[in-house]
Amino acid sequence: MFAALISFLLLFRVLAIAAYPPSSRQETYLAHAHIRPSLNVSSCPGYKVVSEKQTNYGLIVQLALAGPPCNAFGHDIINLTVEVTYQTPSRLRVNIYDNARTQFAIPQDVISLSAAEDDPSLKDHSDLEFRHSSNPFEFWISRRSDPDGEPLFDTRARSLPPTPIPPVISDDDSTALDGFPLVFEDQYLQLTSALPLGANIYGLGEVLASSGFRRDVGTDGGAGTIQTMWSIGTSDPIDENTYGSHPVYMEHRYDPKTRRSKSHGVFHFGAAGSDILLLTPPSSSSSLIQYRMIGGTLDFYFFSGPSPQQVIEQYGALVGYPTWQPAWGFGFHLCRWGYRDVNETREQVTKMREANIPLEVMWNDIDLYHAVRDFTTDPVSFPADEMKAFIGDLTANQQHYIPIVDAAIAKVVNASDVYDPYTRGNELDIWTKNPDGSEYLGRSRPGYAVFPDWFANDTGAYWTEALRNWSRAGVNYSGIWLDVNEPTSLCIGSCGTGANLSEATVQSPPALVTEYPEGYNASIWGPSGNITINGTLTFGNDSLVAHIHAKRGLGAAGQPGVDINDPPYTLHNAYGVLSNNTVSTNATHANGAVELDTHNLWGLMEGKATHLSLLELRPGKRPFMISRSTFPSSGRWTGHWLGDNISKWQYMYLSIQGVLQFQLFQIPFVGADTCGFQGNTDEELCNRWMQLSAFMPFYRNHNVRRALSQEPYRWDSVANASRSAISIRYSLLPYWYTLFANASMRGTPPIRALFFEFPDEPELFSVDRQYMIGRDLLVTPVLTPNVSTVDGIFPGQGRVKWRDWYTHGVVDAAISQNTTLDAPLGHINVHIRDGSALLLYDSPAYTIAETRQSPFALLVAQASDGYAFGTAYLDDGESVQPTPNTTLTMTASKGELTIRPQGDFDVQQRLAKIIVLGAGRAPPVDIRINRKPLTHSSRWRFDAALERLAISGLSLDLNSPVELTWSQ
CATH topology of domain 47-319: Immunoglobulin-like (2.60.40)
At 846-875, the pLDDT tens digits run 999 999 999 999 999 999 999 999 999 999
Provide the pLDDT for residue 564. 73
If one counts every other C-beta atom within 10 angstroms of the C-beta of residue 270, the result is 26
DSSP classification of residue 677: S
Catalytic site includes residue 255: no
Catalytic residue among 299, 486, 606, 711: 486
Q: Is pLDDT above 90 for 419?
A: yes
Is residue 220 classed exposed, middle or buried when 0-12, 13-18 and 19+ CB atoms within 10 A define those classes?
A: exposed
pLDDT of residue 235: 86
Distance CA 658, CA 662 (A): 6
Residue 14 has pLDDT above 90, yes or no: no
In angstroms, rounded to a whole number, what is the distance separating the alpha carbons of residues 376 and 425?
A: 15
H/E segment holding residue 466: helix 459-472
To the query of whether residue 682 is one of the catalytic residues in this protein, the response is: no
Sheet holding 751-752, edge to edge: 751-752, 771-773, 777-780, 829-833, 802-804
Distance, CA of 801 to CA of 831 (rounded, Å):
10
Angle at Cα 540 formed by Cα 538 and Cα 543, nearest 5°? 140
CA distances from 839 to 53, 60, 860, 887 (A): 55, 52, 9, 11
Mean pLDDT for 49-68 is 97
pLDDT above 50 (res 30):
no
956 DSSP assignment = B
**CB distance 760 to 260 below 8 Å:** yes
Q: Which of 76, 236, 563, 644 is catalytic?
A: 644
Average pLDDT, stretch 916-929?
94
Please give the C-alpha separations between residue 421 and each of 25, 452, 465, 815, in angstroms, as whole numbers: 39, 11, 9, 62
Each domain of the chain, given as residue ranges in start order, spans: 47-319, 327-509+550-737, 739-967
Instruction: Indicate the residue type of 425.
Output: G
* Residue pair 90/305 in contact by the 8 Å Cβ criterion: yes
Fold match between domain 327-509+550-737 and domain 739-967: no
Fold category of 739-967 in CATH: Immunoglobulin-like (2.60.40)
* Predicted pLDDT of residue 226: 98
Q: Residue 879: pLDDT above 80?
A: yes
Q: Please check whether residue 245 is in contact with residue 272, taking contact to mean a CB–CB distance below 8 angstroms.
A: no
Q: State CA 402 to chain mean position distance.
A: 21
- Burial (CB < 10 A; 0-12, 13-18, 19+), residue 937, is exposed
Phi, psi of 3, deg, nearest 5: -65, -40
pLDDT digits (tens, 9 = 90+) for 546-600: 322 222 222 222 344 666 777 689 999 999 999 999 999 999 999 999 999 999 9
Confidence band of 36 (pLDDT split at 50, 70, 90): confident
For the cut 60, the answer to whether the pLDDT of residue 213 exceeds it is yes
Question: What is the rounded average pLDDT for all residues in the chain?
Answer: 91
Which pLDDT band holds residue 516 (cuts at 50, 70, 90)? Answer: confident
Q: What is the pLDDT of residue 534?
A: 61
- pLDDT confidence band for 12 (50 / 70 / 90): very low
In 406-500, DSSP assigns E strands to 409-410, 442-444, 447-450, 480-482
Model pLDDT, residue 339: 98
**Of 240, 299, 483, 711, which residue is the catalytic one?**
483
pLDDT at 512: 72
C-alpha to C-alpha distance for 294 and 296, rounded to whole angstroms: 7
pLDDT for position 523: 65
Mean pLDDT of 643-651: 98
Residue 137 has pLDDT above 90, yes or no: yes
Contact 813, 292 (CB under 8 A): no
CB 676 within 8 A of CB 647: yes
3-class SS letters over 99-142: CCCCCCCCCCCCCCCCCCCCCCCHHHHCCEEEEEEECCEEEEEE
Percent of the chain with pLDDT over 70: 90
CATH class of segment(s) 327-509+550-737: alpha beta
Q: How many residues does the chain have?
A: 968
> Does 483 qualify as catalytic in the annotation?
yes
